[in-house]
């Protein structure tokens, strides 16, 4: 019985050896070559040690032979024919492999005769070639003097038959009678490894490179450029191409919403390897963002949904490790950076102020405000106007530089921020954004259109000079401000002229005409109540502060002496913000300093509907005693 089992096993081994030899174009039985060992998930795509003594399956074999002369290993090696005269010889074998889903490893032995490589005597092995026409090949090659200028062993990308990009340069200076085992490996991510071991040396040397390019893998082949004296002086043996199970890696990271990201892998992954500790999320200031959970994406076997907590930054980094595929192969640790921003949506950012009729020599500006809960990418915004048929025209990007607008922040778009800052009061220069090209807005009427980079209209305002206050003597240099962020942009009643008391515009600052969310009682407060306009630098002026229940009032402020005579018309028909102040230096309308004593301040305010309010306050002009 034992003997029968032994005979049966021998038959099975012989059958498998025969099938493998037929499938891989050569024999595995070479006693002089060490056994090839691969993992159960790897596949030998090609193997040839030329021990069969022929070149069956190879193409363009006229200048090549299987020879026992100065063989590399075993009884035979592939050898260039000494009958070749001079020029170029190549030999190819059709091999197909999947570069997208598998790592590929090539291995071969190569030696030359007693001559040093040069630009006229050079050789390389095509790891991958999409055709066998050498002047048209796209792929990769390992060899010597591929570019015609280096005797070092190198790995190049080949484009249309020419050396295009150097991926790896080793330190092997190939010279006369060199023999080496060469191994190259490419991962699906485009990471390359080149290893060589020279005959007689115990240790091998390893070099690394990266080339994310891809190419069609149809052929492998050997190329020899030679002079007559070098013909027949090149050998090759033990060629193998192995398709390796690739490690899992991240193909894509997608930010789904403010608390969820999805990671797509290149292959199905093991749900048992999902743990929160496999993930670390940080922002640009290295603040850690808590990972809430990691679960498989619904209806997918190769993606994970990562939910996370509150984010304060704009640029995030997600580090991932410990994730394995269904075979147990674990990914190399990887970190992916991404912007924590969302394409602006309708209602997330609003037009808040526009200056369309600037002072002479000035420039227009459009102010926006972020009313969403997230930072918005300014570089994904566009500003435009419309023509007579209401079609979009002059559509220009707000900026080409990466920039974000935080919630409640203002963005002032203009061609010349310095000009705006010189003509108006502003304490927020960081809000300004210089646009290379700016839409043309008419001084009489026009349309401001705000879009995202998908050309979706986010907000739109049809303005007119008639929307300005009728109390303005001149509309030039006065902006229109939005009153309420809750009311529609298209509502003409939601816009008003910027208050005179703030300088006719508020670029980068809260609007002077904006409605307050909290109820305010009307207040007029002189400070200090006693002031001494004597030029000594102490209490030389009276500040008359006002705080009103709503913006848009028109004010008149007059000063009277103790017997009721008007001595100063301080403010005349001035449009007001909701809060502000006036200054009085203690002089009358003729420019003379008034006498010491009690004075009456009369403040009259009225709105566009004719509603009026009057306030009466007192102050005292004093002086120091000598």
User: What is the C-alpha to C-alpha distance for residues 20 and 351, in angstroms, rounded to an integer?
Assistant: 72
Angle at 137 between CA 131 and CA 140, to 5 degrees: 110
Average pLDDT taken over every residue of the chain: 89
In order of start, what are the domains of the chain with their CATH numbers? Answer: 23-245 (2.60.120.200), 250-339 (2.60.40.1220), 349-502 (2.60.40.1260), 523-621 (2.60.40.4070)
Question: Range with the lowest mean pLDDT among 191-200, 236-245, 511-520?
Answer: 511-520
Is the whole-model pTM more than 0.75? no
Cα separations in angstroms, 220 against 44, 212, 242, 505: 14, 20, 13, 72
Q: Would the pLDDT of 33 be above 70?
A: no
Q: Would the pLDDT of 455 be above 80?
A: yes
Residues 232-247, mean pLDDT to the nearest whole number:
94
pLDDT band at 22 (very low <50, low <70, confident <90, very high): very low
SS3 346: coil
Q: Would the pLDDT of 247 be above 90?
A: no
Residues 463-470, mean pLDDT to the nearest whole number:
92
User: What is the C-alpha to C-alpha distance for residues 207 and 439, in angstroms, rounded to an integer?
Assistant: 55
Give residue for tokens 């009721």.
564
pLDDT band at 517 (very low <50, low <70, confident <90, very high): low
pLDDT band at 28 (very low <50, low <70, confident <90, very high): very low
Give residue for tokens 């020879």.
67
User: What is the C-alpha to C-alpha distance for residues 419 and 329, in angstroms, rounded to an integer?
Assistant: 62
User: Two tokens at 216?
Assistant: 């069609």
pLDDT at position 16 is 35
**DSSP-derived secondary structure for 581-609:** EEEE-SB-TTSPBPPSEEEEEEEEEE-TT
Question: Range with the lowest mean pLDDT among 101-105, 339-343, 374-378, 521-525?
Answer: 339-343
pLDDT at position 1 is 42
pLDDT tens-place string over residues 546-586: 988 888 888 999 999 988 899 999 999 888 888 889 999 99
Q: Residue 32 gets which letter from DSSP?
A: T
Within 53-131, residue ranges assigned H as helices are: none
pLDDT at position 7 is 35
SS3 398: coil
Query: Over the Cα atoms of the chain, what is R_g?
Result: 41
pLDDT at position 6 is 35
Q: Would the pLDDT of 248 be above 60?
A: yes
What percentage of the chain reaches a pLDDT higher than 70? 92
pLDDT tens-place string over residues 253-309: 999 988 999 999 988 999 989 888 899 999 999 999 999 999 999 999 999 999 999
Name the residue with higher pLDDT: 4 or 556. 556
pLDDT band at 189 (very low <50, low <70, confident <90, very high): confident
- Identify which of 602, 567, 571 has the alpha carbon closest to the alpha carbon of residue 586: 567
Q: Would the pLDDT of 24 be above 70?
A: no
User: What is the C-alpha to C-alpha distance for residues 152 and 394, in angstroms, rounded to an integer?
Assistant: 57
pLDDT tens-place string over residues 108-141: 999 999 999 999 999 999 999 999 999 999 999 9
Cα separations in angstroms, 199 against 179, 203, 205, 611: 6, 10, 13, 103
pLDDT tens-place string over residues 322-362: 999 998 889 989 999 998 887 899 999 999 999 999 999 99
pLDDT at position 327 is 86
- Kindly report the three-state secondary structure assignment for every residue of 209-263: EECCCCCCCCEEEEEEEECHHHCCCEEEEEEEEEEEECCCCEEEEEEEECCEEEE
pLDDT band at 587 (very low <50, low <70, confident <90, very high): very high
pLDDT tens-place string over residues 80-108: 999 888 899 999 999 988 888 889 999 99
User: What is the C-alpha to C-alpha distance for residues 98 and 106, in angstroms, rounded to an integer?
Assistant: 14
Measured from the Cβ of residue 618, the count of other Cβ atoms closer than 10 Å reads: 12
Q: Are 245 and 103 in contact (CB under 8 A)?
A: yes
Residue 349's H or E segment, with its range, is strand 349-355
Please, which contacts does 422-425 make with residues 24 or more away whose CB atoms are closer than 8 Å? 423/358, 423/359, 423/362, 423/477, 424/503, 424/504, 424/505, 424/506, 424/507, 425/502, 425/503, 425/506, 425/509
pLDDT band at 535 (very low <50, low <70, confident <90, very high): confident
Strands 87-94 and 58-59 turn out to be antiparallel
pLDDT band at 481 (very low <50, low <70, confident <90, very high): very high
Name the residue with higher pLDDT: 214 or 335. 335
pLDDT at position 14 is 34
- Identify which of 93, 109, 94 has the alpha carbon closest to the alpha carbon of residue 183: 109
User: What is the C-alpha to C-alpha distance for residues 126 and 115, in angstroms, rounded to an integer?
Assistant: 22
User: What is the C-alpha to C-alpha distance for residues 469 and 555, in angstroms, rounded to an integer?
Assistant: 13
Residue 43's H or E segment, with its range, is strand 43-48
Strands 612-621 and 530-531 turn out to be parallel
Residues 185-193, mean pLDDT to the nearest whole number:
93
Q: Give strand pairing partners of 300.
A: none
Cα separations in angstroms, 317 against 235, 253, 288, 494, 600: 50, 11, 10, 42, 65
pLDDT at position 29 is 33
């Amino acid at each position: 019985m034992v003997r029968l089992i032994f005979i049966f096993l021998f038959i099975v081994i012989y059958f498998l050896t025969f099938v493998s030899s037929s499938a891989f174009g050569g024999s595995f039985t070479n006693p002089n070559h060490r056994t090839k060992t691969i993992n159960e998930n790897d596949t030998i795509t090609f193997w040839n040690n030329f021990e069969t003594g022929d070149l069956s399956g190879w193409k363009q074999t006229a200048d090549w032979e299987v020879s026992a002369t100065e063989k590399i290993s075993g009884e035979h090696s592939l050898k260039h024919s000494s009958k070749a005269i001079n020029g170029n010889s190549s030999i190819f074998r059709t091999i197909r492999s999947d570069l997208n889903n598998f790592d590929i490893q090539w291995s071969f032995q190569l030696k030359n005769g007693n001559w040093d490589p040069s630009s006229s005597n050079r050789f390389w092995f095509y790891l991958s070639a999409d055709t066998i026409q050498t002047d048209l090949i796209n792929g990769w090659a390992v060899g010597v003097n591929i570019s015609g200028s280096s005797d070092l062993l190198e790995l190049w990308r080949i484009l249309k038959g020419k050396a295009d990009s150097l991926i790896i340069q080793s330190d092997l200076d190939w010279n006369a009678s060199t023999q080496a085992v060469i191994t190259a490996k490419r991962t699906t991510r485009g990471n390359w490894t080149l290893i060589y071991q020279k005959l007689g040396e115990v240790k091998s040397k390893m070099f690394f490179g990266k080339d994310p390019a891809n190419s069609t893998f149809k052929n492998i082949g050997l190329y020899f450029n030679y002079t007559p004296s070098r013909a027949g002086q090149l050998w090759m043996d033990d060629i193998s191409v192995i398709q390796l199970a690739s490690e899992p890696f991240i193909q894509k990271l997608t930010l789904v919403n403010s608390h969820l990201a999805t990671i797509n892998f290149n292959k199905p992954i093991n749900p048992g390897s999902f743990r929160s500790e496999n993930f670390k999320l940080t922002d640009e200031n290295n603040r850690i963002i808590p990972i809430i959970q990691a679960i498989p994406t619904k209806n997918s076997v190769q993606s994970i949904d990562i939910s996370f907590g509150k984010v304060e930054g704009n640029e995030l980094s997600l580090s991932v490790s410990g994730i394995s595929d269904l075979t147990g192969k674990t990914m190399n640790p990887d970190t992916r950076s991404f912007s924590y921003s969302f394409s602006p949506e309708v209602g997330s950012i609003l037009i808040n102020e526009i200056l369309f009729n600037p002072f002479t020599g000035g420039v227009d500006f459009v102010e926006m405000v972020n009313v969403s809960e997230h930072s918005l990418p300014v570089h994904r915004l566009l500003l435009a106007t419309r023509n007579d048929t209401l079609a979009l025209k002059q559509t220009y990007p707000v900026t080409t530089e990466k920039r974000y607008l935080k919630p409640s922040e203002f963005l002032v778009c203009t061609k010349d921020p310095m000009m705006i800052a010189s003509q108006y009061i502003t304490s927020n220069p960081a809000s300004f954004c210089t646009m290379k090209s700016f839409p043309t807005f008419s001084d009489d009427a026009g349309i401001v259109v705000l879009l995202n980079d998908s050309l979706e209209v986010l907000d739109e305002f049809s303005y007119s000079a008639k929307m300005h206050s009728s109390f303005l003597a001149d509309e030039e240099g006065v902006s229109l401000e939005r009153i309420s962020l809750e009311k529609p942009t298209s509502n003409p009643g939601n816009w008003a002229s910027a208050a005179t008391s703030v300088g006719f515009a508020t670029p980068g600052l809260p609007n002077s005409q904006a409605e307050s969310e909290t109820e305010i009682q009307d207040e007029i407060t002189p400070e200090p109540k006693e002031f001494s306009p004597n030029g000594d630098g102490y209490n030389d002026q009276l500040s008359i502060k006002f705080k009103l229940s709503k913006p848009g009032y028109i004010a008149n402020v007059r000063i009277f002496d103790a017997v009721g005579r008007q001595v100063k018309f301080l403010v005349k028909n001035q449009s007001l913000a909701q809060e502000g102040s006036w200054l009085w230096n203690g002089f009358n309308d003729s420019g003379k300093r008034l006498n010491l004593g009690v004075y009456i301040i009369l403040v009259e305010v009225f709105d566009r509907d004719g509603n009026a309010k009057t306030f009466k306050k007192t102050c005292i002009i004093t002086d120091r005693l000598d």
